[in-house]
Amino acid sequence: MAKKEETISMIDTLAEFKELKNIDKDTMISVLEDSFRNVIAKMFGTDENYDVIINPEKGDFEIWRNRKVVADEDLTDPNKEISLTEARKIEADYQVGEELTDEVHFADFGRRAILTLRQTLTSKILELQKDNLFAKYKDKIGTIISADVYQIWKKEMLLLDDDGNELILPKTEQIPGDFYRKGETARALIQKVDNVNNNPKIILSRTDKLFLQRLFELEVPEINDGLITIRAIARIPGERAKVAVESYDDRIDPVGACVGMKGSRIHGIVRELRNENIDVINYTTNTSLLIQRALSPAKISSIRVNEEEHRAEVYLRPEEVSLAIGKGGLNIKLACMLTGFTIDVFRDIDNADEEDIYLDEFADEIDGWVIDALKNMGCYTAKNVLAIPKEELAERADLEESTVEDVYRILAAEFEEDNNE
């Protein structure tokens, strides 16, 4: 009766292993066979003369032992040899020197062998599960996952994926406005997977810049299709973010595509990020212009860029300074993060109490491409241009000397007329 119960116990062990997820058939057979061989080797000193056959579909197994038939008086190793007398009890025509193969019932090895096998299997199963979990999530680093909130602690939150695997969302990786209850679903980025002492730990993040990028990829098909590229992201989680985008197709407005009709696309991202304000700007390789766009909604009077030191001096009208800095300094901090430049803001005192004119007002006298060239170097007003020597202006804006002369003449004439009046 005991042996029957032990055999049933072994069948149950195989059935449990068969039901494990994420373990392929070949791996399962290999692990089971190794476990049996380990126990056999411990009992008899070797497993070389044993054949272990696993039947994963049926949930059972067979063990066959191969022994050499020897004369009764020559028997020295009962594990590898069988006496002629014993062999002929199995089959009458056996001869010395032949090989005999007979089935061995594992339950006959005793309760200790069965317990050892179960422990070995349990250990190998746990190790295999950990290896599979690590490999699975190692390949998913940088992707978004949805998981159920299982436990909430002071310093971190425990989530469970569809397979019941544990995921960790540290408090430091949560958006300040995040609030979840047990059983709710949370979306986060798989940030990293630690594997200390073969104990995988999956760390999630909702504050990572890549989380914002992945949300854009989900909401904006043009980004997912490669028609629009996100070139830079600056983010203060839960407060504000700036995203620089670029399109390689002139027919596509990258900013408009990311925002969507009446903000339809970006609203979903903003809600997911707990109403984090998101500014989307056009990327450019022109550092001066990129800095100006990054400081939006402030309008810059002039800018001086030091590429070597990665510094920029920005001059604005007094009423524009607060817009450039932003509430709590957020706007200028994000602009620095987005461009990689240290930006110093100055009040344009020289022009503060004088009337100035934006270059766009001269569109009927100066070609549009010339005005754009002047804007690209940080000159938005007439006095910005007139404050720069002609030779420097021609070089920085890449304009002909004759063109620069015409621009100076047109702009200067406007102020002369004002003075005469």
pTM: 0.68
More confident residue, 292 or 12: 292
Sequence ranges of the domains in the chain = 2-135, 143-205, 208-283, 359-420
Written as one string, the DSSP assignment of 161-200 is -TT--EEEEEGGGS-TT----TT-EEEEEEEEEEEETTEE
Fold classification of 2-135 is N Utilization Substance Protein A; Chain:P; domain 4 (3.30.1480)
How confident is the prediction for the chain on average, in pLDDT? 86
pLDDT at residue 273 above 70?
Answer: yes
Instruction: Identify the three-state secondary structure at position 334.
Output: helix
pLDDT number for residue 8: 43
pLDDT in tens, 204-252: 999 999 999 999 999 999 999 999 999 999 999 999 999 999 998 889 9
Exposure string of 358-367, with b = 16+ CB inside 10 Å and e = fewer, is ebeebeeebe
Task: Give the model confidence (pLDDT) of 23-39 as tens digits.
Answer: 666 777 788 888 888 88
In terms of average pLDDT, the best of 42-46, 85-89, 267-271 is 267-271
Decide if domain 143-205 falls under CATH 2.40.50.140: yes
Considering only 19-23, 219-223, 292-296, 413-417, which range has the smallest mean pLDDT?
19-23
What CATH code is assigned to 208-283?
A: 3.30.300.20
Q: Which has more pLDDT, 132 or 291?
A: 291
Residue 352 has pLDDT above 80, yes or no: no
Q: Among 92, 212, 86, which residue's Cα sits nearest to residue 142?
A: 212
The H or E element that residue 345 is part of is: strand 342-347
pLDDT bin (cut points 50, 70, 90) of residue 132 is: confident
pLDDT given for residue 178 in this prediction: 93
Q: In what order do the strands lie in the sheet with 240-247?
A: 228-236, 240-247, 277-282
Q: Does residue 380 surpass a pLDDT of 60? A: yes
Judge if 143-205 and 208-283 fold alike in CATH terms: no
Mean pLDDT value across residues 144-148: 96
Give dist(CA 157, CA 393) in Å, integer.
Answer: 58
167 pLDDT above the threshold of 60 = yes
For residue 379, count other CB atoms closer than 10 A to its CB: 25
What angle do helix axes 330-339 and 318-325 make, rounded to 10 degrees? Answer: 70
Q: Which of 24-38, 293-307, 364-378 has the highest mean pLDDT?
A: 293-307
The pLDDT of residue 341 is: 95
